Structure 1
């Protein structure tokens, strides 16, 4: 069987560890579906599994972009689809893992994206330059609250794209999304989550560890290779906050504020993830902390071995 398994869900739930366990158990290979883990050097701030801890299991769609390049859902969809089918052709199991909502849906539902119009795009980009990303995001919230709920208020590029699609199609941004049906390749979709209080604790611990393990130094290094010029990478949660702190002088109080804002930003992002994934009836939800890893893997494997008709 080469039917893929997708391990999805909010940030800091333990998806990467579960995916590794599954890949080892089933003879699988990992396919990343975290937009920020596409970037080389963005390791600590994205909780990328270090090479030494991957157990020799091949990982794909990691470290494929420089921080100066722009990540797009359409490009990811094309490249990741080819990776999944190559893994299947070699008789292995693709284990897709991540929490980037649009990237996952584009991959599993073969999302066809509306065409772009250069003049419309340039008009919205000019509007962005005039009023700033926060104000433009507020305009999007008025036009399409659902789109604004899933796009970060700091993400000018995706805000512009959503407004462009709305203008071109005359419909909400989400209307271009595919109908949720049988997932591509008959993929088994597993969602991992925790109780809110427990997940908040995990986010706080993860944030603290990031800063203790050299996150600020990582950002400083990436600034030296063009992070500030990256349209996508520079706005990632944590990175944007540390850049602002360094620009303010990098004093201990500035960095402490960056740590707190990273925690707050991650919690807000989790709410968006839960809202997005919560509408997908295909997901088999598992609660972290209520079973050991072997028990979770066994439950997922049982579902995986069933045919799609049962």
Structure 2
């Protein structure tokens, strides 16, 4: 392959499946650079709770789009799309493989696919959020169902329902119309790491325990002083929301750990649902002793 035809490689799958390690190994084997596609790893200082690879575990491989936001800032998938595509072009111009690594499904798709993102109107969004406070989530979703039943059935959290209603009022089009058929923006290969659910549950529980031992509570304390609570995105991150309650004296560490593990399992289930729905993903067993070989073969033959 010439530099201009190198595909974008995306390593996807549930949290705790080993995506970061495989990304580094592929970059070392093939000659590549990593692009972060975990929306919580955009944030400076959110290291332990997001399982961000420490510098000394990155194998000398350049990592892009890590630590690009303060915790008070809101992540934007449309901004990420522009940044990721610019980074992809720069990496390919150096003759290297761009390797997208992360489990934030919409962000992965924004980088890889022909996908349009409508604008936003802060005043309109505030009005819809006020309506949410007034009438409640189910009533607001019922309103969305009248104009966009596809999105109403698919979206299960208040923030995304608010966004869907905002898009409809701004554009006159249903939010679901902005998620077209899956078509790559440029050549790409997606590799998914498959983990059996019982094994994944054990790995996730162990990972949360490790985060606590590494100092997650102290990390949350530092970020709290930096404005974590005012960040609409960062303050909701797994582990951080729970350990803020420890700082407030509402929970003890054990309760925060238990709730974080439960929430992380649910999140991993949603990730699997998202990526399993994409027939273009090649699934590989995460614990295959020949994983790197299998991944490399899938890329070179894909």
TM-score in terms of structure 1 length: 0.87
**CA displacement 1:36-55 (0-9 Å, x = unmatched):** 00000000000000001111
Cα gap change, 1:44/1:4 in structure 2, threshold over 3 Å: closer, same or farther?
A: same
DSSP-derived class of the 1:305 partner: helix
CA distance in 2, matches of 1:216, 1:229: 18
Match of 1:205 in 2: 206
Q: Choose from 300, 304, 308 the match for 2:299.
A: 304
**CA displacement 1:150-183 (0-9 Å, x = unmatched):** 7674xx54442123224556665333113113x2
DSSP-derived class of the 1:127 partner: helix
* Structure 1 stretches lacking a partner, 5+ long: none
RMSD after superposition: 2.3
Match of 1:114 in 2: 118
Match of 1:258 in 2: 256
1:272 aligns with 2:274: no
Match of 2:280 in 1: 282
Quote the offset at 1:245 in angstroms: 2.5
DSSP-derived class of the 2:252 partner: helix
For the Cα contact (< 8 Å) 1:204–1:263, is it kept in 2? yes
TM-score in terms of structure 2 length: 0.90
CA distance in 1, matches of 2:222, 2:28: 34
1:192 aligns with 2:190: no
CA distance in 1, matches of 2:11, 2:276: 14
For the Cα contact (< 8 Å) 1:127–1:136, is it kept in 2? no
Cα gap change, 1:33/1:225 in structure 2, threshold over 3 Å: closer, same or farther?
A: same
Match of 2:63 in 1: 59
Quote the offset at 1:72 in angstroms: 0.7
Quote the offset at 1:285 in angstroms: 0.6
1:86 aligns with 2:90: yes
Quote the offset at 1:121 in angstroms: 2.0
**CA displacement 1:231-282 (0-9 Å, x = unmatched):** 11011111111112322x16xx522111111111111111211111111110
For the Cα contact (< 8 Å) 1:149–1:272, is it kept in 2? no
Cα gap change, 1:128/1:32 in structure 2, threshold over 3 Å: closer, same or farther?
A: same
Cα gap change, 1:48/1:258 in structure 2, threshold over 3 Å: closer, same or farther?
A: same
**CA displacement 1:179-238 (0-9 Å, x = unmatched):** 113x23211100112001100111111111111110010000000111111111011111
Quote the offset at 1:136 in angstroms: 2.7
Quote the offset at 1:302 in angstroms: 1.7
Quote the offset at 1:31 in angstroms: 0.3
Q: Choose from 76, 80, 86 the match for 1:76.
A: 80
Match of 1:105 in 2: 109
Cα gap change, 1:150/1:39 in structure 2, threshold over 3 Å: closer, same or farther?
A: farther
Tell me whether 186-195 or 138-147 shows the greater mean CA deviation.
138-147
CA distance in 1, matches of 2:59, 2:39: 23
